[in-house]
Every structure is written in structure tokens, then in C-alpha cells.
Structure 1
Amino acid sequence: MLKDCLEVFKTLLDMNGDEFIMDSYIPADGTYVLVEPKNDSFEIRETIDIRLDKKTKEISGKSNSNFKKICNYDYNSTLDIQKALDRKKVIHSNNYLSFFIKKESLTNGKLTDEIIDNYYEVLSNPLMKYSKSNDLKSKNATRIYRTVEEELGEVDIDTLESLRNWIKENIFNLNIDITGKDYLKIFFEYPIKDYEREGKRFLIPNIYNSNEFNITIKEDIYGLPNDNMGLNSKKPYLENKTRKVTVPYLVNNSDILLQKKFFDYLMNYAALGRVNVYINSVNNEINAYENGELPDKNFNGIFLRLKKGKEVEIHDYDIITGYKPSLTKKLEFKNILKIDQSSKSISIQKYGNWGKVRDIQDRINEVFFSKFLTGNYFTEPGDLSINDGALKSNLLLSRETLFNWIYKGIDNGVFPVLNKVSLSLIKGSIENGYIPKASHQFNLRWSLINYFKGGKDMADIIHDIKDTLRVKINSKITDKLDNDDEYYFAVGQLVNYLLSKSKGKNKPHSLANPFINGKNNNEIKEKLRKLYAKYSYDLDMNGKRFNNLYAMIIGYLPEDKVNQDLIVGGYLSNNLIYESNKEERVNG
């Protein structure tokens, strides 16, 4: 998997150099200080605050003319904090041309002259870091560093000492705001090639997960990468016990640097929230999108799902064949229940004909999941800030299938999942008293059923039933129901009418649960009788419409299994018993 990604990345890197990474690089939040060498002294030339707005993804400080320079300096001065040169991990940089600390270290006593001196001692004599013991790990690290030093030359001790002295004399009295827990990063303005050289001096010996696992084959060093990988004495289960070399994954010293740069590149995307990455190996393209965004052209290639943690993590990987941004046919989102167009529970613009995958995601996200879907495809269940139990459980049940359909074009199993969760969500909305919301959900459910399965349109079914029932409940002589569809729709209408007689401030829609969840007709009729008895004190016992409807329901014996959809449809539809004579004449 990773090899295929790296081939595309290497092509782009060869074409553009490290600028390919720098173009999207995001420094950590903090205050950045540029110090300019002047003859035998130094002078602060500029102080820049850099912040990433997590909501808008805008970077304050990016418009500064020195922003690109800072990105390059920063990139070549950063090392995994677990491998920091300062054993106390107070100083976070790995390059004597820079100096990184958390601002709070200046006020909480963590940064001392001793820590500064120890830091520069390691920088002046790197072998101190690697030759502190005689174990295999230290021996391998020493061997790697000696190879690096042969290529780069020895450290410029004179420059290092002058920078150490400036830091010790000035770090505690810089006359800048040091409040907050973000970074203070100081860069001495030397040529970028110097930064690259000194960054490489400490990057290469520390680039592997642990030098303990390194092996040498024909003068090439092979080791375990540090990206999305961990292996130590506490994780023996990660070893491949069936091989002579138990380390699960080994790469040589040239590929390891390429892989490191690739993960640096991915981290840039993850920091911006662009966590869905599409890698096209034919056209050598890499595109990344935020949650809710989708490719706008056909795609075949590799898909990666990222998460930003202490490092960038790959949480999902797949090979995509035949992804298309357009639906195979348009989704007609119909207002089946004829909801009042002035309803503000959903944007009316959501109804209509839609032809893009992103359109169907938008409607499912808002109507079914109250906008909780697109940002929570991969959220840990315990971290979901959803109080509605039905919404949360159905999100967890369906999100993987929906993600694979919407983002990868894999439609296996999507209709059974949507069919199940949509009805469950409607029932949950009714139980909570969210009737307008449940009505929109019913409309989308049956629009999707028609999209996937075709058949007779539910809008036509309900329209025909209402026309027929309207005549029957207004008849002077009690009529009879002709089929199961009429019967179950009528049950929903009657339950809605009975519950509307409640004297409570809030209508008890949860009492509809036994009916919309009913699976046995005899039980449904028995519960209807009890509900009738409960509210009979307030009924107009001589009401023609109610009496006709109730009598027809009690007298009908259904032939097929309970149709919960039509009970729900009857419950959510405008009630025919309350219909005015004017409406009756118009609709009739």
C-alpha cells in the first residue's frame, strides 16, 4: 500500500523538490523570532505571531514576507519530541541555528542555564548522544552518525558558541509576550542550506523507530520506520514471530527519508482538516479534501483517511475503482407528506432533483443525522457529543457503509442500511416529539427507496389513500376499508387524532411507539381501544369523521404483515378528521 503511494509522491517530489512540501506547510501556533547576525553580534529583526484558526483554517501571519522562510527554517529544525536532543524535553529543536521552547517554560522554571548548556553540548558533539552506552542501539546510532558526519563535515563550533551565548544572555528578557502555552521559536538568519545540513545531521540518526532493530545488508542500513509504527519490549505482539527477522517492516536509508517526507506532507493536510486523500497513480496527482468535500471528477486510485494526532495517522486505506462524482440517476427528493413550505426545520431548497454524490450526502447529513454525519465518520463512539440515543446508535450503525458509498463509490449493502436506519430515525424523532423533523425524514426515506428500488411512488400511494379515506370518513353511512394500505394509514391517522386530545402542554408523541413499532395487528387494535378509552372524555362522540374512521379500523382484518411505514405516514400526514370543509371541497 505505502509503496504505491510513495511512487506517486516521489514523482511529484522529484518534479518540485521540497517546495512541494513547503507549499502546504503549517508551523505550530506560536511566536516566531528572526534574529539577524550583524558583524560580531546579533539583532532581533522581526517577531511574527503565527496561528491556525481551527474553524476557518486561515493562518494568521501567512501574509508576512518572511512566512515561507520561517516554514523552511522550522521544517529543518523539527524532530520527534520523543527523540529530543534535550533529555528533559524542555528544548524541542534539533538544530543549533534555532531554539524552540514552550512559552510557559520561561515562567515555570523549567528552562535553566544548565538545560541550555546541555542542549548545546550535545549539538557541539553529537557522538555524546549516541555513545552513552555499549548496547546494540547505541552502536548502530553511532555508526549512522559517523556516516552522516563524513558527508556533512563537523559542526561549526565557533558559530554554535556565539549562538549559545546570545540565547543565554537574551532568552529571559526578550521583551515579547510570553503568555500562553504555545511555542516561542527563535531562528538565526543563516542560509537555508545551513539549516538543511544541520537538520539532516540529527534527522538521519534518529529517523528510524529505534536503531536497535537496524540491520546492514551490503553496506545499506535497513530499519523500522517511525511513521504509524511502534515496536519495543512492551509490544512483542507486533513482531512477526514466523520470520527469522521478526521486525515487521524494514526499509533502507534512502526510502526511509522519502517515507518521512511523505508523512510530513500528509501532516500538512491533516492539520488543515483535509483528511480524505485521493492518490492517482496514472496522472500522478494527490488531492485532499475536508469532511463533506468530494472529488469533482471520476477517480481510480488509492484512498487514504487521515487523522491528526501526535503524528499523522492513516486510519483507512482502500483501492478505488470507478468512483464517479455524479449519481447513476438523479435523486428526486419529494415533499411526499406535503409539508408546509413555511416550515423552518429544514431548508426548502433541499427538496428537488439532485444529481451529485455530494448532494445526496448533504441531504442524508442534514435530514437524517442533524448534520452530525460528515464530521463524525471516524469519531470514537465515546467522543460523540450526541444526546439523542436513536441518532447516535443509527449513526454508529450506518456511518462506515455510508462513507464507503459516498467517498469510495462502494454501494454494497448501502440500501439495506439506509432502509433500516431511516425508519429507526423517524421513530426516534416521533418519540422525542420532533414531528416536522420526522416528516422530512419520511420524505427522504421514501425518496431514497424510490431511487434505489423504484416501484410505485409513496407520494402517489398516500395521495390515493387520502382521497379514498376522505370520502369514506365523510360518508353518512359507515363504509369499509378496502385494503391493508388504507387500514394501516388509517391507524396512523387515528392515533395522531387521539393523542392530540391530550390536555398536557406537550403532546405525548412517545405514546405512539406501540403503534409505529407494532408487529401484531391484534395488539395494535387492543392498544387502540385502550388509547380510545384514555381520551374518550374529551372526544366528540357524535363526530361523524372520527366514528367512521374508528369503526372501519375495528372492523377490518388485514391480510398481510404490519406496514409500519404507512402507520408512520398516516401519523405524520395532515389529519383528515381536522380537515376543514373548504379543504375537503378543494381536495375532493
Structure 2
Amino acid sequence: MIKDMVKPFKEALVDDKNIVLDNYRLKDGLYIKLDVNKPIEICEENFIIVNNKEKDKGIDGTEIKKPELYKWFREMDYYSVILNEDTNKCIDLPAKKILSTNQMTFFMKKDKCPVIGKATNGKPVIKKEKLLELIEKYFDKLMLSENKFMEIYENSKYTKGTLKNAEKEEFLKTYFKEQIEYIRTEQRIKSIEENKRFILENFDGIIDSIKEFMERYPFNGYIKIFLDYKKEMYEMESQVYTIPRIFNVNDYNLFIDGKILGLPSNNITTNTKKPYLLLKTMQTNAPYRVKVGEVQNAKNFFEWLAIQGKFKEIKLDYNYKFNGTDSHKNGKSYLSIHLNKKSEIDEFDNIPFSGSKLNFILYNALNIEERIDKKDKNSLKVPIKNEHIKDYGILQQRFSEYFFNNKLFGYFVKRQIIAN
């Protein structure tokens, strides 16, 4: 299923590598850009506030007022967020309080932040001393990024476990030469130490500045701090974080002819708490495996799906170019994808031909009446007019309106087993 859907997306990426990034949406919160060589200050030139509700209403003008800064934050944020919004992929495990993924960023939820946050649902704000301890461990783990690459091999059920030093070097250079060379550079080691020192030594100043800032510019969601580094460094750090975590688990990784095959993590789970998708009646437990590059394409495709929304049916023509135009043209065969509240795929259909056109009159045989102004309970009622139905979308809309009080969203079919 996923392989079929990712194929046209992969072909579209050849023509436009920025398909996902161009449509990437920042989450609500305060975004601050800091220079490690300058004093802590939140000024007009280095912050934006994102409020997606106001943006959808056309009220929020951040993207218009600060287009270059907004674009910079959008791109660097894309390279710095946790994989698939899965907190189990955090660097900050098991605490899951720090939600960034590299040495140039520090993300956390506003409500969890000391001094600034407020206890919600009985969950207290993290203490400052504890958070500082987590920050120190966070940077220490970044220094040990190489170990995460070795887990790809060592955690697999199909390998001999821990490698000797010479074998380890051969493995890393065979599969991750560029990333390992970057991890070992003196420049990266030095910058991690400098950025760690900057965040820890200026933590109180950062928090105090944000608290003072909130009095004039209230915001909700996340606090996201970015250090001013080049995009290329953000890209490399993204690779260092993403590649070792891109598979669902490393237990089923295979190493064949210089290629790594593993179980993708999108729309599938096989961890010990939810082993439902493992194949228990075959010699191989993994439902299927793909190469690292194909997993990356699947990741990008699901990021594109998440941008489309929730509780939706997405119709994709087989040759759709993902260029912002309508994804389905009438009369063409297409893929029908039904998304749930997490923008994951609930159902998937291959529609090889377009359905016949509708052409009938929906009669108001019962002479049912509706109010002229549906929002005004005191407005006059008039009979619903007969309607000429030519489109499945209109039919579904009327079906939802008349029989389900406009509560039927997405699509008609919903399989549900009801126990007697």
C-alpha cells in the first residue's frame, strides 16, 4: 500500500525537492533566533509568534510582515523537529521534555517551562534544576551520536551483535561515511560544547526575557529557540538525527550488498507493547522491508499528507505531480486515501476507473421544512427545494446534512464490529 502511494511522490521529488518544505506549517508558539556572540535580547528582528487559528482566519500577518524571517524559521524548524512527531524518537529520553533534535535548537512546550509555564491536568511544571540537568544530558547525547548509528547494526536480530573496533569502522564507513566524518569533525565537537555552555549559562536570561516578552505579546504552544548557524549545518544535523531513527525498530534490519533494509515507521508499529502487525505464521516476522532512501521518501510523503489535514479523503491521480494543483481530475483513475485524526491512513483504495456520473432529482417527498436562517431558531420555515444532483460530493453533503446533522465527515464506509 505505502509503496504504491510513495511511487508518484518519489517521481515528483525529481522535479521539485522542496515539495514538503514549501508546504511545511509551523506549530503555534514563540520562535526566537539568537546569536551566541551577542547578548540575549528578543527584538523585532529575531522573533515571530505563530498562531495558526488566526492565520486560518486571515488575522495573523506574521508571514507577510516578516517573510524572510518566517521562511528561515520554517526551514530550520523542519530540520529540527522530532521524527513523525513521535516523542519516543526524542533525544531527551526517557524524560521527553526537550523536543528539539540538534545542538543549534532548544524546543519545549510553554506549559512545561519553569517560571513561564502553568500546571495543566494535574501535571506540574518541570523544576528549573531538573531541566538544566536534562539540557546537559541532551548535549552529552549529541556528542555520542555515533553510538546511535551502531544501534542500527547491534540491535538487529540478524547480526552477530557488538562489533570489534576494526569491524565497527568498516561498517560505519560502508553505510554512513558522510555522516560519521561530520560527527567526528573538530568543528562539531567544539560547537556542541560552545552551544551547551551558551544555553546553560544564559538560561535564566532567556527565561526572564521570554517572561517579560509575554506581558506584551502573549502566545501559546511552544517555545522554540534557534541559534544562528548556516542551513548546511542544520541539514547535516538533521541527517545525524534522522537516519539512525528512521526505521520503526532496528530489530529487523538486514544488511545486503552495502544496503540496509528495515521496517519503515510510518503507519505501522511493531514494538513490544503493540506487536499486532508482526507475521507470526511465517519465518520472517517483519511485514516488509525497504531501503533507507525509500523510508526517507515515505517519511516525506506522510509529512505531505499531514499538511493536507485530518479526517479527510485525499484523491491522488496516479501521475499527480504534487505541485499544488488539484490532486484528482474527474475521469482519471486514482488512489483514495482516508486520513484519521493523526493524519495517518485509516483506509486505502485503488480506484482504476471513474464512477458513472450522477443525474437525478432529490425530491422533498415528505415536504420537510427548514429555517431560512439556520442559525436563527426563530426564523421562518420553508419547504426544502427539490435539487438536481450531478455530483457525488453534493450527494454526500446532503446525506450528512439530512441524516447526520452535518456530522458525517470524510467518507461513507466505516467498518465497525459490534459485539452482541
- Name the TM-score, length of structure 2 as normaliser: 0.75
1:258 has 2:291 as partner: no
1:27 has 2:26 as partner: yes
Partner of 2:350: 319
1:188 has 2:227 as partner: yes
Cα distance in 2 between the residues matched to 1:205 and 1:266:
23
Cα distance in 1 between the residues matched to 2:176 and 2:329:
50
Letter of the 1:243 partner, please give it.
Answer: M
The structure 2 residue matched to 1:358, chosen from 369, 388, 393, is: 393
The structure 2 residue matched to 1:90, chosen from 87, 97, 108, is: 97
Shift of 1:232: 2.8
8 Å CA contact 2:369–2:384 kept in 1: the answer is no
Letter of the 2:20 partner, please give it.
Answer: I
8 Å CA contact 2:104–2:195 kept in 1: the answer is yes
Q: Larger helix proportion, structure 1 or 2? A: 1
Alignment of 1:229-378 (within 5 A): 229-270=268-309, 273=310, 275-284=312-321, 297-309=330-342, 312-323=343-354, 327-329=357-359, 331-337=360-366, 350-374=385-409, 377=411
8 Å CA contact 1:35–1:187 kept in 2: the answer is yes
Shift of 1:51: 2.1
Partner of 1:170: 202
Alignment CA distance shift 1:190-1:350 (3 Å): farther
Partner of 1:109: 126
Cα distance in 1 between the residues matched to 2:321 and 2:393:
24
The DSSP-based 3-state class of the residue aligned with 2:32 is: strand
Shift of 1:57: 7.0
User: Any idea what the Cα deviations from partners look like across 1:231-286, whole Å, max 9, x if unmatched?
Assistant: 1334455322343332111111221111111112112223xx47321221235458
Letter of the 2:227 partner, please give it.
Answer: F
Shift of 1:153: 4.8
Cα distance in 1 between the residues matched to 2:270 and 2:370:
60
Letter of the 1:16 partner, please give it.
Answer: D
Letter of the 1:126 partner, please give it.
Answer: S
8 Å CA contact 2:316–2:328 kept in 1: the answer is no
Cα distance in 2 between the residues matched to 1:146 and 1:343:
66
Alignment CA distance shift 1:171-1:333 (3 Å): same
Cα distance in 2 between the residues matched to 1:262 and 1:194:
24
User: Which sits farther off after the overlay, 8-17 or 168-177?
Assistant: 168-177
8 Å CA contact 1:101–1:183 kept in 2: the answer is yes
Alignment CA distance shift 1:56-1:158 (3 Å): same
User: Any idea what the Cα deviations from partners look like across 1:377-410, whole Å, max 9, x if unmatched?
Assistant: 5xxxxxxxxxxxxxxxxxxxxx318x9xxxxxxx
User: Any idea what the Cα deviations from partners look like across 1:204-241, whole Å, max 9, x if unmatched?
Assistant: 01111112221111121111111111113344553223
Cα distance in 2 between the residues matched to 1:5 and 1:347:
47
Shift of 1:319: 0.8
8 Å CA contact 1:304–1:316 kept in 2: the answer is yes
The structure 2 residue matched to 1:154, chosen from 184, 199, 223, is: 184
The structure 2 residue matched to 1:204, chosen from 243, 246, 260, is: 243
User: Any idea what the Cα deviations from partners look like across 1:18-68, whole Å, max 9, x if unmatched?
Assistant: x21012211222111112355x77765422111222994769433331222
* Alignment coverage as a number of residue pairs: 367
In structure 1, stretches of 5+ residues that fail to align are 378-398, 404-588
Letter of the 2:317 partner, please give it.
Answer: N
User: Any idea what the Cα deviations from partners look like across 1:303-353, whole Å, max 9, x if unmatched?
Assistant: 1111242xx4110100113335x8432x32334455679876777675332
8 Å CA contact 1:276–1:288 kept in 2: the answer is no
Cα distance in 2 between the residues matched to 1:214 and 1:296:
40
Cα distance in 1 between the residues matched to 2:382 and 2:181:
64
Shift of 1:112: 2.5
8 Å CA contact 2:145–2:183 kept in 1: the answer is no
1:75 has 2:78 as partner: yes
Taking CA–CA contacts closer than 8 Å with sequence separation of 6 or more, which of the two structures ends up with the larger relative contact order? 2
Letter of the 2:195 partner, please give it.
Answer: L
User: Which sits farther off after the overlay, 182-191 or 356-365?
Assistant: 356-365
The DSSP-based 3-state class of the residue aligned with 2:344 is: strand
* RMSD of Structure 2 on Structure 1 (CA): 3.5
Alignment CA distance shift 1:113-1:323 (3 Å): same
The DSSP-based 3-state class of the residue aligned with 1:211 is: coil
Shift of 1:101: 1.1
Letter of the 1:98 partner, please give it.
Answer: T
Cα distance in 2 between the residues matched to 1:350 and 1:287:
36
Alignment CA distance shift 1:254-1:98 (3 Å): same
User: Which sits farther off after the overlay, 62-71 or 312-321?
Assistant: 62-71
Letter of the 1:62 partner, please give it.
Answer: E
8 Å CA contact 1:274–1:288 kept in 2: the answer is no
Cα distance in 1 between the residues matched to 2:392 and 2:235:
44
Letter of the 1:400 partner, please give it.
Answer: V
User: Any idea what the Cα deviations from partners look like across 1:514-569, whole Å, max 9, x if unmatched?
Assistant: xxxxxxxxxxxxxxxxxxxxxxxxxxxxxxxxxxxxxxxxxxxxxxxxxxxxxxxx
Alignment CA distance shift 1:207-1:276 (3 Å): same
